[in-house]
Structure 1
Amino acid sequence: MSPSLKKILSEIEQLTPEEQLTVMGHLVERVKKHVTQAPAKRKWSDLKGMASYPLFGEDAQEWVSRSRREGDEYRERFLRTQE
């Protein structure tokens, strides 16, 4: 514990209970300001240009086509097992 903190705490101990509550309220308000600050809202447009094209080495249209094809294949296999 720093000497400054020790001094402050010993001075607080000499205050009346009402004054100690005032000090405590002051500290709580100070901490609230730092803790409750909302994080900055981000926009999707802030992400623009952050990833190189193509992100994972695959063209977007190729990814969409492949995902649809895989989904169709999965549904066909699923339906065959239900028969």
Structure 2
Amino acid sequence: MSLSLEKILSEIEQLTPEEQLTVMGHLVEHIKKHINQAQSKRKWSDLKGMAPYPLLGEDAQEWVSRTRQEGDEHRERLLRGEE
């Protein structure tokens, strides 16, 4: 632990409980700002390309059913040696 941190903690211990709560509240708000800033750096464009094109404009359940059926048909053709 650094000397400056030890000094700060020692000074905080000398405060009244109400003042210590004020210090705690200040620290919580300060940390929240840093967390919010880190989260706000994320952009929707970062998600680009995560979902394949067919998902756009197609009902999710229909897409799942269709791709499962296509996969099954493809596997059957492979097992029969058609491809």
TM-score, scaled to structure 2: 0.52
Identical residues among aligned pairs (%): 59
Which amino acid in 1 is paired with 2:45? Answer: K
Which moves more between the two structures, 34-43 or 19-28?
34-43
More helix by share: 2
* Matches of 2:78 and 2:43, distance apart in 1: 43
Q: CA deviation at 1:72?
A: 4.0
Following the alignment from structure 1 to structure 2, what is the Cα–Cα distance between the partners of residues 77 and 9? 70
C-alpha displacement of 1:36: 2.9
- Residue of structure 2 in register with 1:40 after alignment: 42
Q: Counterparts of 1:32-71 in structure 2 under 5 Å?
A: 32-37=32-37, 38=39, 39-43=41-45
TM-score (norm 1): 0.52
Q: Which residues of structure 2 form unaligned runs of 5+? A: 50-70
Distance 1:19 1:73, change over 3 A: closer
CA-atom RMSD, angstroms? 3.1
Specify the structure having the higher radius of gyration (Cα).
1
Aligned residues: 56
